[in-house]
Structure 1
Amino acid sequence: MARFLRFEHVSFAYQGMKNMLITNLDAHIATGWTGIVGPNGAGKTTFLQLAAGDLEPSDGFIHHLSTSRYAMQRTDSPPEGMEDFQEAKDLSAIELKQKLAIRDDWFERWDTLSHGERKRMQIAVVLWDNPEVLALDEPTNHIDAEARNMLIDALKDFKGVGLLVSHDRELLDSLCNQCVFINPPNAVVRPGGVTAGMEQDRREQMEARSQDESVKKAAKRLKRAAQNQLEQAEQASAKGKNRKFKKLDKRDHDGRERRNLAKMTGRNARGGSSQSASLSKRAAELENSRSSFNIRKEYEMGFWLEESRSAMRSTVLSVSSGELSLGGDVKLAYPDLYVSPTDRIAITGANGLGKSTLLKLLLGKVCVNHERLISIPQEITADEAKNILDEVKSLPKNELGQVMTCVIRLGSRPGRLLESEPPSPGEIRKLLLALGVTRGPHLIVMDEPTNHMDLPSIECLEGALSACPCALILVSHDMRFLESLTDHTWHLASESPNQVRLVPGRRDSVQDLDFEGFVLE
């Protein structure tokens, strides 16, 4: 028997929100994977929590299946059931540990695992639990190309109702039978993967804009006709009032004709006024009908950062050669490292080789004022997110306006962002970047900058960073993003089980992780 997760006239808003995130949604979600698509802050995570039963709708009803699991974006804490998964000896547990390359020692050292390793563990545990409804929030965040392929293979084997929020278009296309497109307060179900759904959405928006333009022009013509009728009526009325006739002689045929004409003109004036009112009413009805087209507001995308180049002649960061401990006996060796005011550096390497650990070292060696540094980590805790939002809300009006302008051009709606508690991880990253931009940064350091961001936001971020005149250090598994923005690479390579080495290089293009395109310096 087919199993369905059913939404009936579902609406939802968080307490204190002025508008609904979701309004009157009807959807039947069958077994297989369904993508949940929409801009940052649109309510994708909220949709997953509603589906998993972690939130109750404000209105309407959700017919839940008997078991559900929600795997959140964050990887701060071990997933529920990890200890049971560690001890499990059944075939499913063994296969998942093999497919996702889960090592035995990971269970004992969660705090020292990379976010990519934590994400693999999180997904393995919820898949092993085998719920009827599985809701995954950005499952490919933090993971490298090899782990991503492992993950896709594991997710293809899931037999229940799967809900998937991801900015990874290839993942959505390869797994999903349909997608729910959320654009508050509307949510629309479309068949196929995200690419097909986005193309259908594009066509619908083009058609809606065309219809809207036709209605707009028709309303304008009616308004113009109404105005013309009114002016003619006023002129006719004025002529009638100016004609005064004394008592006419029976034989004054010309005078009688002028009097009859005056009476006729008065009737025409009254008729003209009535026609004008009728035309104005029809024009107003057409104007009101335009709201039915559901046309999304389009904001100017991308923004130019203010002049941010450091006045320093040589470096914004300098580190002498040394070694870093990565836990246990594993060491990361690195040479002397320098960053000039215009360098654009990609830090690459597989999960667990110390990229985030290296960033912590680098941030302690910057040669610029704290106000001139933008540092955005992989993960921002809920408390940190609240503090950032409070800081933004307390800004003077003019500064708040500058920050919100940047946020708009990164693809988010300021009003919804400021009233959401807490903002989504993608929105918090935009806020942090926008805050830094208004202060004229000399160095921007971002750890997995495309994590948590929707596809249009990634394009906006790429455009903004490509125009910035300051130094960049980017850690990312998104090779196309790095290729577009950087020209030097610090690659972390494993030389032996206990030795990782940083190899700096000038790059012609980003290839996989095999040094193709690198020119060693």
Structure 2
Amino acid sequence: MIRLDNIGKQNGKQIVFIEASAALLKGEKIGLVGPNGAGKTTLFRMITGEEPPDEGQVSVDRGITIGYFSQDVGEMEGRSALAEVMDGAGPVSVVAAELKELETAMADPERADEMDAIIERYGEVQGRFEELGGYALEGRAAEVLAGLGFSQEMMDGDVGKLSGGWKMRVALARILLMRPDVMLLDEPSNHLDIESLIWLEAFLKGFDGALMMTSHDRAFMNRIVTKIVEIDAGALTTYSGDYEFYAQQRALNEKQQQAQFERQQAMLAKEIQFIERFKARASHAAQVQSRVKKLDKIDRVEPPRRRESVSFEFQPAPRSGEDVASLKGVHKSYGSRTIYEGLDFHVRRRERWCVMGVNGAGKSTLLKLVTGATEPDAGTVAVGGSVKMAYFAQHAMEVLDGERTVFETLEDSFPQAGQGALRALAGCFGFSGDDADKRCRVLSGGEKARLAMARMLYDPPNFLVLDEPTNHLDIATKEMLIAALADYEGTMLFVSHDRHFLAALSNRVLELTPDGIHQYGGGYTEYVARTGQEAPGLRS
């Protein structure tokens, strides 16, 4: 269906692709992976024709429809979310828009004299709408939006009033409703809660077209893709299997290449030693010449390219008391909406609570109550003795000073720390070399999240409260964070939609549901086994 043959592409001074080749065949589901800046979005733009390659060829079979979801959703306003989604479905959306206009005209008393013509036209347009499957389309659009977490009120409301994350969901819903022959999805799992993620997973598994996608959620990718295309140093390498298989295969290939490189280096050293030792002796001239020629002909094995993988280790945190946080008889409402009524909840030392619940259940509110960022309407919230708390909230990234560099931000936070220690800290969180001198205003969402995390973890707290800490983080940074937090000796309370993160780090689950609040001993994996569901919103 789509072929890339010997593609070459350069952006400014950066070489993105060199003689790179790959293919997307009918019905295939491919995960596109590679470090940030490797060229994943450039590849999508070349397939859609938005950017031509400098060399080589991109071939798309005649008549193929392509739906491309990117993070840049553009302007949306003045229509309902439902109308915006249906607008992506081709000719039927134009007919639907006219039908709406005619319905408005029929209800307008000032146009009574035109009524016969309006009714006649309405009949024609309605017939065409039915012919194109328009009534079924509205139902399908509503189904897709509901799957992505929209209430009926949000579907009918002005799309322009939605936040950026919800507009992303509208743009994604347009592509899903379109059901093209090929879907190109650039980070579709961003901004989705766990229920929407699981719904999207099922939708994409059932999609019979071809799919190529990027995602920072490894559990999501593992369940959908059957092939991985990796972008690394300008080349495209294809692996058959899911993300887990790719990670194992890549590690094995690197190990084999390293062993091959070392064997060849040892052989070369031996040959060079012989040449050096006997080059001045006439009696060995023929042997020396023969070995020099042999060395010239050898194909040199390159050492495996080292991916920059960094690790972060916590300094030992001061020990807290056994009772870390306690909520007794807590009531909390926003306007007429009651979030908590008589909540009792206790966090003890070394417990790692993950908080589960649908949108609006009060997950972030609970974290705000515990950290003192919001006050209860009634009841008490107490933090135990010797507790040193750190809170990662979504707004933690917004309070960074745009004019300060990454390094200056760390220096401001830890004036007593040495330059070397702060450079090492910056490196652990992906800011090595010149990246440490970037101003905060030019940082991407992922970079801001990493910097906020670095500030929080350097001077170790013994109680970590984290609200969606993995949003914006790529797979490699998530792995580093999980490894660091797995060895962390303190207490944790967190909200996350990343199932790999939940399974790796939780040892308690607090579930917020309309039927009440449930507490489970054992982590997320045990919760799934016990309830038979991956999230509370999926209960039938």
TM-score between both structures, scaled by the size of structure 1: 0.69
Q: How does 1:460-475 map to 2 (within 5 A)?
A: 460-475=480-495
Aligned pair 1:446/2:457, yes or no?
Answer: no
Q: Where does residue 403 of structure 1 map in the other structure?
A: 425
Cα 1:468–1:77 change in 2 (3 A) is farther
CA deviation after TM superposition for structure 1 residue 457, in Å: 4.2
Q: Where does residue 450 of structure 2 map in the other structure?
A: 430
Aligned pair 1:391/2:400, yes or no?
Answer: no
Q: Bigger CA drift: 211-220 or 119-128?
A: 119-128
Distance 2:399 2:295 in 1: 51
Query: Partner amino acid for 2:512?
Result: L
Distance 2:65 2:314 in 1: 48
CA deviation after TM superposition for structure 1 residue 163, in Å: 1.8
Aligned pair 1:103/2:121, yes or no?
Answer: no
- C-alpha distance after superposition, 1:485-504 (max 9, x if no partner): 23333321113xxxxx5445
Query: Partner amino acid for 1:475?
Result: V
1:26 to 15, 21, 24: 21
CA deviation after TM superposition for structure 1 residue 305, in Å: 0.4
Structure index of larger Rg = 1
1:491 to 504, 508, 511: 511
The secondary structure found in structure 1 opposite 2:253 is: helix
Aligned pair 1:214/2:263, yes or no?
Answer: yes
5+ residue gaps, structure 1, are 237-266, 496-500
Cα 1:57–1:352 change in 2 (3 A) is farther
Distance 1:330 1:127 in 2: 35
Cα 1:174–1:514 change in 2 (3 A) is closer
Distance 1:321 1:472 in 2: 22
CA deviation after TM superposition for structure 1 residue 464, in Å: 0.6
RMSD across aligned positions (CA) = 4.7
1:344 to 330, 334, 352: 352
The secondary structure found in structure 2 opposite 1:289 is: coil
Distance 2:407 2:54 in 1: 29
CA deviation after TM superposition for structure 1 residue 147, in Å: 3.5
Cα 1:8–1:23 change in 2 (3 A) is closer
Query: Partner amino acid for 1:183?
Result: D
Q: Where does residue 528 of structure 2 map in the other structure?
A: 512
Cα pair 2:30 2:229 within 8 Å, conserved:
yes
Q: Where does residue 414 of structure 1 map in the other structure?
A: 432
Cα 1:515–1:197 change in 2 (3 A) is closer
Q: Where does residue 37 of structure 1 map in the other structure?
A: 33
CA deviation after TM superposition for structure 1 residue 451, in Å: 4.4
The secondary structure found in structure 1 opposite 2:513 is: strand
CA deviation after TM superposition for structure 1 residue 446, in Å: 2.5
Q: Bigger CA drift: 422-431 or 109-118?
A: 109-118
Q: Where does residue 153 of structure 1 map in the other structure?
A: 202
Cα pair 2:225 2:241 within 8 Å, conserved:
yes
CA deviation after TM superposition for structure 1 residue 131, in Å: 4.7
CA deviation after TM superposition for structure 1 residue 275, in Å: 6.8
Cα 1:43–1:323 change in 2 (3 A) is farther
Q: Bigger CA drift: 183-192 or 195-204?
A: 195-204
Q: Where does residue 372 of structure 2 map in the other structure?
A: 364
Q: Where does residue 300 of structure 2 map in the other structure?
A: 289
TM-score between both structures, scaled by the size of structure 2: 0.67
Cα 1:471–1:175 change in 2 (3 A) is closer
Aligned pair 1:305/2:314, yes or no?
Answer: yes
Cα pair 2:352 2:492 within 8 Å, conserved:
yes
Of all paired residues, the percent bearing the same amino acid is 24
Cα 1:153–1:323 change in 2 (3 A) is same
CA deviation after TM superposition for structure 1 residue 52, in Å: 4.2
Distance 2:289 2:171 in 1: 66
1:183 to 232, 237, 246: 232
CA deviation after TM superposition for structure 1 residue 35, in Å: 1.4
Distance 2:339 2:16 in 1: 48
Cα 1:95–1:406 change in 2 (3 A) is same
Query: Partner amino acid for 2:8?
Result: V
Cα pair 2:329 2:344 within 8 Å, conserved:
yes
- C-alpha distance after superposition, 1:152-181 (max 9, x if no partner): 332245455432112445544554353211
- C-alpha distance after superposition, 1:370-399 (max 9, x if no partner): xx7554446987x87994993247656424
Query: Partner amino acid for 2:465?
Result: V
Cα pair 2:426 2:436 within 8 Å, conserved:
no
Q: Bigger CA drift: 416-425 or 458-467?
A: 416-425
Distance 1:359 1:177 in 2: 38
Distance 2:235 2:267 in 1: 27
The secondary structure found in structure 1 opposite 2:276 is: helix
Distance 1:415 1:64 in 2: 41
Cα pair 1:142 1:477 within 8 Å, conserved:
no
Distance 2:264 2:184 in 1: 42
1:165 to 214, 217, 222: 214
CA deviation after TM superposition for structure 1 residue 346, in Å: 1.2
CA deviation after TM superposition for structure 1 residue 221, in Å: 0.8
CA deviation after TM superposition for structure 1 residue 355, in Å: 1.8
Query: Partner amino acid for 2:9?
Result: S
Distance 1:373 1:395 in 2: 18
Cα pair 1:376 1:446 within 8 Å, conserved:
yes
CA deviation after TM superposition for structure 1 residue 326, in Å: 6.2
Cα pair 1:38 1:44 within 8 Å, conserved:
yes
Query: Partner amino acid for 1:71?
Result: F
The secondary structure found in structure 2 opposite 1:398 is: helix
CA deviation after TM superposition for structure 1 residue 427, in Å: 4.9
Cα 1:419–1:322 change in 2 (3 A) is same
Cα pair 1:388 1:428 within 8 Å, conserved:
no
Cα pair 2:264 2:301 within 8 Å, conserved:
yes
Cα 1:67–1:374 change in 2 (3 A) is farther
Cα pair 1:492 1:502 within 8 Å, conserved:
yes
Query: Partner amino acid for 2:496?
Result: S
Q: Where does residue 139 of structure 2 map in the other structure?
A: 94
CA deviation after TM superposition for structure 1 residue 351, in Å: 3.6
Q: Bigger CA drift: 178-187 or 19-28?
A: 19-28
Cα pair 1:69 1:134 within 8 Å, conserved:
yes
